[in-house]
A and B are shown apart, each in its own frame.
Chain A
Amino acid sequence: MKRPHLRRRSPRLPFIVLLTAVIGAAVWQAHIDDDRGAALANPADDAAAKGPLKGMQVVASGDTLASTWYCAAGTGDQGGMADHVVTILNPGDRSLDATVTVYGGVLASSSPTTAETSEPAAAPAAAPVPVLRELRLPARDQVQLRLGDVLAAPLVAALVEAKGGAVAVEHRVTGPHGVDTGPCASATAPVWHLASGTTTRDARDVVVLFNPFPTDAIVDVSFDTDAGSREPVRFQGFPVAAGSVVGVDIGDDVAREAQVSATLRTRTGRVVVERLQEFDGSLGPEGLAVALGVPEASTAWAFADGMVDDGRTERIVVYNPSDERAEVDVSVLPTTDEPAPAPQPFRLSIRAGGFTVVDYGAEERIAAGVGHATVVRSTNGVPVVAERAMTQLVRADDRDADEGGTNGTGDIAAGPGAIVAASRWAFPASVGGDEATVAFVVFNPDAERSARATLLAVAGGRETEVDDARDVEVPPGGRVALAGDAAAADGSSWVVESAVPVVVELVVVGQGGLRLATGVGIPSGEGAVPLGELLGR
Chain B
Amino acid sequence: MEPEEQPLASPPVLAVVVTHGRHADRFEDLLGALAEQDYPQLSVLVIDAAGADDLTDRVRGFLPAARVLRLPGTEGFGAAANHVLDRDRPRARRAEFFVFCHDDVLPDPTAVSALVEAATEWDADVVGPKFVARDNARRLLHVGLGVDRVGTTMPLVERRELDQGQHDGVREVFAFPAGFTLARADRFAAVAGFDDAVDSPNDDLILCWRARVAGSRVLLATDSRVRRDGRSWAGPRDQARHHVRALLSCSSRLDVLWVVPQALALSLAQAVGGLVTGRPGRSRAAVGAWVWNLLRPLSLWRARRQVNAVRQVSDRDIHRMQVRGLIGPRLWLRRMGRSGPSADAAAAIDPAAGLAEPGPPRSDDATEPADTIAAWTPTTALIITVLAGVVLFGSRHLVTRFVPAVGEFVPFPGSAGDLVSGWVGGYRPVGLGADASAPTLVGVAGGLGAVLGGHLALARTLLIVGLLPVGVVGAYRLLRPTGSKPAQVAAAVAYAAVPLPYDGLATGRWSVTAAYAASPWLLGRLVRASLVVPFSPDGPLPTVRRPLWQHMVATGMVTGLAGLLVPQAPALLLLVAAALVVGTLLAFERRGIGRLVAVSVGAALVAMFLHLPALVDVLRSRTAADAWMGLERPVGAMTALDLLRFDTGPIGIARPLGFCLAGAAVLPLLIGRDWRLGWAVRAWTLAVACWALVWAQQQGHVNVRLPDPGVVMAPAAAALAFAVALGVAAIELDVRGRAWRFGFRRTVSALGLLALAAATAPVVVASMDGWWDMPRGEFGGVLGSVDAAVTAEPSRVLWVGDPAVLPGGQAWELGDGLSYTATEAATPGIADLWPATGLGSSGRLGEALGLASGGQTSRLGRVLAPMGVQYVAVPRALARASGVERTDGASGGLGWPAVASADAVDGLIEVLDGQLDLEQIAVDDALALYRNVAFAPVRATGIGPSALDETSAAAMQHVDLSAASPVLVDADGDGRTARGPVPAGDTVVQASSASDRWVLEVDGRRAERTDAYGWANAFPTPGGSDGGKAVLGYRTPLVRHVLVAVQGALGLLALLVAVRMRFASGAPSSPPSRPDGADASTADDRSDGEQERDEPAPDDALPREGEPVPAGAGAST
Contacts and interface: CB of A to CB of B under 8 A. Distances in A.
A457 interface: no
A242 B684 CA distance: 62
B856 A215 contact: no
A214 B933 contact: yes
B782 interface: no
B678 A11 contact: yes
Contacts of B588: 8-11
B913 A163 contact: no
Contact of A26 (B641, B857, B922): B641
Interface string B906-919: 00001001111111
A208 interface: no
Contacts of A12: 669-670, 677
B957 A66 contact: yes
Given A65-B856, A65-B954, A29 B640 contact: yes
A297 to B, nearest CB: 16
Given A11-B677, A26-B644, A163-B958, A214 B922 contact: no
A8 B670 CA distance: 17
Most buried by A among B639, B677, B910: B639
A130 to B, nearest CB: 12
Contacts of A68: 858, 916
A161 interface: yes
Interface in A194-237: 212-215
Contacts of A26: 639-641, 643-644, 691, 695
A447 interface: no
Nearest to B934: A214
Given A15-B586, A190-B910, A60 B855 contact: yes
A30 interface: yes
B977 interface: no
A29 B644 contact: no
Contact of B920 (A11, A37, A269): A269
A242 to B, nearest CB: 8
B916 A212 contact: yes
Interface residues of B, number: 41
Contact of B639 (A9, A29, A212): A29
Contact of A37 (B637, B684, B915, B918): B637
A163 B640 CA distance: 51
A27 B640 contact: yes
B851 interface: yes
Nearest to A270: B913
Contacts of B303: none
Contacts of A10: 588, 677
Given A23-B644, A65-B851, A163-B958, A214 B916 contact: yes
A17 B643 CA distance: 20
Contacts of B913: 188, 190, 269-270
A252 interface: no
Interface in A10-59: 10-12, 14-16, 18-19, 22-23, 25-27, 29-30, 33-34, 37
Contacts of B933: 214
Contacts of A65: 851, 856-857, 954, 957
A215 B920 contact: yes
A64 interface: yes
Nearest to B669: A16
Nearest to A217: B920
A29 B637 CA distance: 12
Contacts of B1047: none
B1044 interface: no
Contacts of B919: 213-215, 242
B759 to A, nearest CB: 17
Interface string A50-91: 000000000010001111100000000000000000000000
Interface string B581-595: 000001110000000
B562 interface: no
Contacts of B920: 213, 215, 268-269
A18 B586 CA distance: 10
Given A29-B640, A268-B920, A187 B677 contact: no
A229 B678 CA distance: 72
A250 interface: no
Nearest to A18: B586
Contacts, number: 97
A30 B958 CA distance: 52
Interface string B625-654: 000000000000101111110000000000
Interface residues of A, number: 41
Contacts of A27: 640-641
A19 B688 contact: yes
A159 interface: yes
Contacts of B398: none
A501 B48 CA distance: 109
A338 B677 CA distance: 84
A161 B862 CA distance: 14
A124 B378 CA distance: 85
Contacts of A66: 856-859, 954, 957
A60 B855 CA distance: 8
B806 to A, nearest CB: 23
B335 to A, nearest CB: 37
Contacts of B669: 12, 15-16, 19
A7 to B, nearest CB: 11
Interface string A250-286: 0000000000000000001110000000000000000
B306 interface: no
Interface in B831-880: 851, 855-859
B586 A187 contact: no
Contacts of B293: none
Nearest to A23: B644
Contacts of A189: 910
B914 A188 contact: yes
A22 B920 CA distance: 51
B118 interface: no
Contacts of B699: 29
Nearest to B957: A66
Nearest to B854: A64
B42 interface: no
B454 to A, nearest CB: 42
A266 to B, nearest CB: 9
Contacts of B957: 65-66
A187 B640 CA distance: 42
Contacts of B958: 163
Given A19-B684, A30-B640, A159-B916, A11 B856 contact: no
Nearest to B921: A215
Contacts of A15: 586-587, 669, 681, 684
Nearest to B918: A214
Interface string A459-501: 0000000000000000000000000000000000000000000
Given A9-B588, A66-B858, A161-B858, A33 B677 contact: no
Interface string A389-417: 00000000000000000000000000000
A37 B851 CA distance: 33
A184 to B, nearest CB: 14
B742 to A, nearest CB: 22
A67 B699 CA distance: 39
Interface in B1035-1058: none
Contacts of A270: 913-914
- Ranked nearest first, the 7 interchain pairs of A and B with the lowest CB-CB distance are A26-B640, A30-B639, A214-B919, A68-B858, A215-B920, A30-B641, A65-B856
30 contacts: A8-B588, A9-B588, A10-B588, A10-B677, A11-B587, A11-B588, A11-B677, A12-B669, A14-B586, A15-B587, A15-B681, A16-B670, A18-B586, A29-B640, A29-B695, A30-B640, A33-B639, A34-B639, A64-B856, A66-B856, A66-B954, A66-B957, A68-B916, A161-B858, A187-B914, A190-B913, A213-B916, A213-B920, A242-B919, A270-B914
Interface of A: 8-12, 14-16, 18-19, 22-23, 25-27, 29-30, 33-34, 37, 60, 64-68, 159, 161, 163, 187-190, 212-215, 242, 268-270
